[in-house]
A and B are shown apart, each in its own frame.
Chain A
Amino acid sequence: KAGVTQTPRYLIKTRGQQVTLSCSPISGHRSVSWYQQTPGQGLQFLFEYFSETQRNKGNFPGRFSGRQFSNSRSEMNVSTLELGDSALYLCASSLGGQQNEKLFFGSGTQLSVL
């Protein structure tokens, strides 16, 4: 069974540009959540999608957005990039139907904003 796949693995952008990251969950998983990881702030929750609907949202500005498709694949978009957006972006999937489900993480997309 394939794990969670994130593409691309590395990305370099300049300030003001926008970027789209992709996450394919484990087959059968309907919940996808996104996290930002930086040395200074640690791992912070961005948002969660379940059955194409945003179910939860963290405290990030509106420049961060996401969506989920009918096949459960998810994309995250960051517009008007800032230097502080440089981070490892991780997505995690779970079955999504119950409270006590393990999260399965992808390897992440390392974004560098110059």
Chain B
Amino acid sequence: KQEVTQIPAALSVPEGENLVLNCSFTDSAIYNLQWFRQDPGKGLTSLLLIQSSQREQTSGRLNASLDKSSGRSTLYIAASQPGDSATYLCAADAGKSTFGDGTTLTVKP
């Protein structure tokens, strides 16, 4: 059974700081690893999807990496802004998506 863990559960940083969110998964037989953002009371917005054959994906200030052999993915956010404050979830897809519990990020002005 796939298990996905995200560390830390919460993170608070000052504006402008670079930061890394971590995601680990137990079963490396995945099709892809997807990162999402969720604002309070809202649905999820897909940020980046890394296919199992890829090592990383980039979109603007976001960079996600994937190491299938070690069962790890990271989401790097450069030059954080208060608008980045949200909960970030990762999901490992092996036919159905298994989500981590998320990291709640607060960026202070």
Residues of A within 8 A of B (CB): 4, 6, 33, 35, 42-45, 48, 56, 58, 88, 90, 92, 99-100, 102-108, 110
- Minimum-distance CB pairs A-B, first 5: A105-B43, A43-B99, A99-B31, A105-B44, A42-B101
How far, in whole Å, are A104 and B46 apart by their CA atoms in the complex? 7
In the assembled complex, the CB of B46 is this many whole angstroms from the nearest CB of chain A, namely 5
Q: B97 contacts A103, CB within 8 Å? A: yes
The prevalent SS among residues of A at the interface is strand
How far, in whole Å, are A90 and B44 apart by their CA atoms in the complex? 9
Contact of B98 among A6, A45, A100 (CB under 8 A): A45
Q: A106 contacts B43, CB within 8 Å? A: yes
Residues of B within 8 A of A (CB): 31-32, 34, 36, 41-46, 49, 51, 89, 91, 93, 95-102
The prevalent SS among residues of B at the interface is strand
In the complex with contacts A99-B31, A102-B34, A110-B41 CB distance below 8 A: yes
Q: A100 contacts B32, CB within 8 Å? A: yes
Contact of A43 among B41, B89, B95 (CB under 8 A): B89
User: Which B residues touch A48, using CB under 8 A?
Assistant: 96
How far, in whole Å, are A42 and B98 apart by their CA atoms in the complex? 10
How far, in whole Å, are A45 and B50 apart by their CA atoms in the complex? 20
In the assembled complex, the CB of A20 is this many whole angstroms from the nearest CB of chain B, namely 19
Q: B43 contacts A4, CB within 8 Å? A: yes
How far, in whole Å, are A58 and B10 apart by their CA atoms in the complex? 28
Q: B46 contacts A56, CB within 8 Å? A: no
In the complex with contacts A99-B31, A99-B32, A56-B100 CB distance below 8 A: no
How far, in whole Å, are A44 and B3 apart by their CA atoms in the complex? 11
How far, in whole Å, are A56 and B42 apart by their CA atoms in the complex? 24
In the complex with contacts A42-B102, A48-B96, A56-B96, A100-B46 CB distance below 8 A: no
User: Which A residues touch B42, using CB under 8 A?
Assistant: 107-108
How far, in whole Å, are A4 and B45 apart by their CA atoms in the complex? 11
Contact of B49 among A92, A102, A107 (CB under 8 A): A102
Residue among B44, B46, B99, B100 with max Cβ neighbours from chain A (10 Å): B44
